[in-house]
Amino acid sequence: MSVEKNTQPTNPESESSGDPRTGASPRAGDSPRIGVDEWVAQADERKQARSGFWGTIANRWETIPVFWRIGFVAFILILAPIVTNTTPVLSLLDISNNDFMVRVGATFLAFSILAIGLNVVVGYAGLLDLGYVAFFGLASYGYAYLSSDFIGAGVHVPYFISIPVVVAFTALVGYLLGSLAIRLYGDYLAIVTLGFGLLFFQLAQTLTRVRFFWLERPVDLTRGPNGINNLDAIPLITSRIEESIAYGYIYLFGSTFTPTIKYYFLFLIMLGLVVLVVHHMNQSRLGRGWRAMREDDLAAEVMGIPVRHLKLMAFATGAGIAALAGATFAAWQGNVVPIRYNVLALINLYAMVVLGGLGSLPGVIIGAFIYTLLPEILRNVVYATTLFYVGGLIGLVAWLEPSKRLVMVLGGTFLAGLLLKFLVNLLWPGFDTGVAPTEGFFLNQWAQSWLIIPANFTTAGNLAIGAGIAALLATVSIKNWWRYVFLGLTIYLFGFAWETRLAVEPSVTRILVVGASLVVLMITRPQGLLGKLRVEIL
């Protein structure tokens, strides 16, 4: 049909502006023109356009065709395990176990797959599923039932049957869960799914004495908190093609590679397949339907989109992907433990997705990377301390902005600390031992010489944590200049707490740092690294 001519009176600017019909853009160098359609329309993009160092890199990156971008990333991922296993790299990172990096890498890949699955449910379809880890766990237990010596004398179903069966089963469970939860919106959905996730965890820990009425004695379904061991590994060892065809083994690169590396590549291949499948699903009417549903599910339904059906599809797909990761992960680790599927695991997973950006496929992979690597880095006192102090410093600078205030606060706190130490040593000699349990490196030593560290540093450290939080509260609540005094106090207390207690207990600290970084990130950049800012009308 013919294109209708614009019925508006001729726009005098249309001669010099871009021509909507051909899509030509305004001439470069033209001064800003109010009201010119296309220029105005692109205002949002310009505002979000990236500048500065990272911006330039990001912009250059986008000019490379997609195929080469993926190729580049794939290339790095394939070479990574081989490179990181070499001695120079290992000594640089101060790691003795040469399997370690690959193991971290394989974990990262497995969690990437999980994150992608979660992204489908939460990012694409907008369904807040807080019980997602349960699918991961369910599949792992399913694999444990089928491919180990758990049931009776041992049902050792080969992996190429057990894994697909487990995936299908879990997808079905996802479908059923979805159909139950489908009537619920937003927060209620979150609550019920969280309930299911917790129920699963509880049951996994407690279903050790289940009475079936046709059996005489109670059955142990899950082996409780210790989990099930001795799961069949996926045979990847063989290096001969004939064996691979005859026995269904996967032939991978010969036997010079440790099993860990082979699992790494297995996960890498899985990741590639999952990415491809999910991407295709997203760029089709299915993905459009999901997005429409996420925006406004009533309007979507009225536009002919079968919302209920699509919600179930999202649940089932997410569950299936989680199952794939779960069964393979269980096979790799050789065991199933409930603690892997608790709330903390869920938080970690969500952190990956939120950090990377909801709805962005490369984003969640990056998120998974950071959140698998970060806890490992934080194991090392040196890195952790650096992160703590440098992070704190950055926070201070960001808040106070380079100014006289900043200098005064930092300088004042430093001097006050020295003064305090002087007074204490003068009046109560011997109180300050100057030695804290944290060995660390020079930063730790500097801090320790500056702080007053009594003999019973444990109790003092505990108190410092509480007092530090209170001081921080005071800092943000008080509006006049006293707040800077409290800020200095907060700095002192947190430094003290770090040197005496926090640096010594890496497990707690890791959770703290990971969570704090996540909170800070969500405040400053709520759409995550690669997500897009969404306009929401409530």
Partner 1 sequence: MAILNVDRLSKHFGGLLVVNDLSFELNEGEILSIIGPNGAGKTTVLNLLTGINPPDSGDIHFQGQSIVGLQPHQITKLGMARTFQTLRLFLNMSIIENVMSAAYPHTKKGLFDIIFRTSGWRKEEAQIRALAQESLSFFGERLVGYRFDQPAYSLSYANRRRLEIARAMATKPKLLLLDEPAAGMNPKETLEITELIGQLRDKGYTILFIEHDMNVVSGISDRVIALDYGQKIAEGSYQEVVENERVIEAYLGRKQSVWTKA
Partner 2 sequence: MDQLPQTIINGLTLGSVYALIALGYSMVYGILKLLNFAHGDVYMIGAYIGYAVLVVLVPSTGPLLPIPIIILVMFLFAMVGCSILGVAIERFAYRPLRNAPRIAPLISALWVSFVLQNLIQLTISPRPLSYGSGTLIPVNSGINLGGDLRIHTARVLVIGTTIVMMIALTYFIRSTKWGRAMRAVAMDIDAAAMMGVDVNRVIVVTFIVGSALAGVAGVLVGIVFFSIQHTMGFLAGLKGFTASVVGGIGSIPGAVAGGLLIGMAEAFASVYISVTFKDAVAFLVLVIVLLIRPGGLLGRLLVQKV
What is the 8-class DSSP label of residue 12? G
Of the residues 33, 240, 379, 534, which one makes contact with partner 1 according to CB under 8 A: 534
- Rounded to a whole number of angstroms, the distance between the first and last alpha carbons of the chain is 39
Per CB under 8 A, the segment of 314-322, 348-356, 365-373, 441-449 that binds partner 2 is: 348-356
Closer to partner 1 by Cβ: residue 303 or 476: 303
Q: Is 32 in the site for partner 1 (CB under 8 A)?
A: no
Q: How far apart are CA 214 and CA 79, in angstroms?
A: 55
Q: Is 33 in the site for partner 1 (CB under 8 A)?
A: no
Q: Identify the burial level of 148 via C-beta atoms within 10 angstroms of its C-beta, where 0-12 means exposed, 13-18 middle and 19 or more buried.
A: buried
The strand ranges marked E within 360-431 are none
498 contacts 385 by C-beta, under 8 angstroms: yes
CA distances from 373 to 160, 176, 378 (A): 30, 35, 9
Q: How far apart are CA 326 and CA 396, in angstroms?
A: 41
Q: Is 164 in the site for partner 1 (CB under 8 A)?
A: no
Q: Is 538 in the site for partner 1 (CB under 8 A)?
A: no
Q: Is 271 helix (H, G, I), strand (E, B) or coil?
A: helix
Of the residues 270, 305, 370, 489, which one makes contact with partner 1 according to CB under 8 A: 305
Q: How far apart are CA 172 and CA 138, in angstroms?
A: 12
Closer to partner 2 by Cβ: residue 311 or 501: 501
Q: Nearest-CA neighbor of 176 among 224, 134, 116, 114?
A: 134
Of the residues 70, 184, 275, 529, which one makes contact with partner 2 according to CB under 8 A: 184
Binding mask 41-60 for partner 1 (x = CB under 8 A): xx-x----------------
Q: Nearest-CA neighbor of 133 among 376, 362, 325?
A: 325
Q: Is 62 in the site for partner 1 (CB under 8 A)?
A: no
Least separation in angstroms between CB 463 and partner 2: 8
Per CB under 8 A, the segment of 402-410, 411-419, 478-486, 505-513 that binds partner 2 is: 505-513
Q: Is 147 helix (H, G, I), strand (E, B) or coil?
A: strand
Closer to partner 1 by Cβ: residue 18 or 81: 18
Of the residues 156, 291, 405, 421, which one makes contact with partner 1 according to CB under 8 A: 291
> Angle 259-282/66-84 helices, nearest 10 degrees?
160
Of the residues 191, 387, 406, 416, which one makes contact with partner 2 according to CB under 8 A: 191
Q: How far apart are CA 66 and CA 233, in angstroms?
A: 36
Of the residues 106, 127, 192, 292, which one makes contact with partner 2 according to CB under 8 A: 192
Q: How far apart are CA 357 and CA 521, in angstroms?
A: 11
What is the 8-class DSSP label of residue 86? S
Choosing among partner 1, partner 2, none, which partner's interface includes residue 199 (Cβ < 5 to 8 Å by kind)?
partner 2
Per CB under 8 A, the segment of 326-334, 412-420, 428-436, 523-531 that binds partner 2 is: 523-531
Q: Is 298 in the site for partner 1 (CB under 8 A)?
A: yes
What is the 8-class DSSP label of residue 63? H
* Alpha helix stretches (DSSP H) within 296-439: 297-302, 307-333, 343-356, 361-378, 381-400, 404-427
Least separation in angstroms between CB 34 and partner 1: 14
Q: How far apart are CA 153 and CA 283, in angstroms?
A: 47
What is the 8-class DSSP label of residue 479? -
Q: Is 347 in the site for partner 2 (CB under 8 A)?
A: yes
Q: Which residues pair with 231 in a beta bridge?
A: 148
Least separation in angstroms between CB 118 and partner 1: 20
Closer to partner 2 by Cβ: residue 86 or 458: 458
Choosing among partner 2, partner 1, none, which partner's interface includes residue 50 (Cβ < 5 to 8 Å by kind)?
none
Alpha carbon of residue 238 to chain centroid: 34
Residues at the contact surface with partner 1, assessed by CB under 8 A: 1, 3-7, 18, 20-23, 25, 38, 41-42, 44, 277, 280-281, 284-286, 288-289, 291-292, 295-296, 298-308, 532, 534-535, 537
Residues at the contact surface with partner 2, assessed by CB under 8 A: 122, 128, 130, 180, 183-188, 190-192, 195-196, 198-199, 202-203, 206, 209, 298, 343-344, 346-347, 350-351, 354, 358, 461-462, 465-466, 469-470, 472-473, 476-477, 501, 505, 507-508, 511-512, 515, 518-519, 522-523, 526-527, 534
